[in-house]
Amino acid sequence: AQSVAQPEDQVNVAEGNPLTVKCTYSVSGNPYLFWYVQYPNRGLQFLLKYITGDNLVKGSYGFEAEFNKSQTSFHLKKPSALVSDSALYFCAVRDPGGGNKLTFGTGTQLKVEL
């Protein structure tokens, strides 16, 4: 069965500093990995995905993520955080052998402070 772990419930970072939101996954085959963001009282918005190809994936709003197969990780990063990045971030995995089922992590609350 596929699963995703986001080990940090909350990440605090100062505006202008780099940020990292961690994600590790478990699937039976090659994973398809996604990051979504949820602002308060809103639906989830897609940020980026890794399907195949380059391990460094660039997405919306200056975010990027690095796929690391040996560490089964897909950490979300941004070189310089903004206060407006404060939101709930979800990592998700899709097992190619598992149909179109997307399994989400428990979410990480990112708080960017001035």
Partner 1 sequence: DTAVSQTPKYLVTQMGNDKSIKCEQNLGHDTMYWYKQDSKKFLKIMFSYNNKELIINETVPNRFSPKSPDKAHLNLHINSLELGDSAVYFCASSQEFIAGGSSYNEQFFGPGTRLTVL
- Minimum CB distance to partner 1 smaller for 24 or for 105: 105
- Minimum CB distance to partner 1 smaller for 73 or for 109: 109
Distance from the Cα of residue 57 to its chain's centroid: 11
User: What does each C-alpha distance from 63 to 29, 75, 96, 101 come to in angstroms?
Assistant: 26, 11, 25, 24
DSSP state letter for 4: E
For residue 61, report the phi and psi dihedrals to the nearest 5 degrees.
55, 25
- Minimum CB distance to partner 1 smaller for 15 or for 104: 104
Residues within the interface to partner 1 (CB under 8 A): 32, 34, 36, 38, 41-46, 49, 51, 88, 90, 94, 99-104, 106-107
Question: Least Å distance between CB 80 and partner 1?
Answer: 25
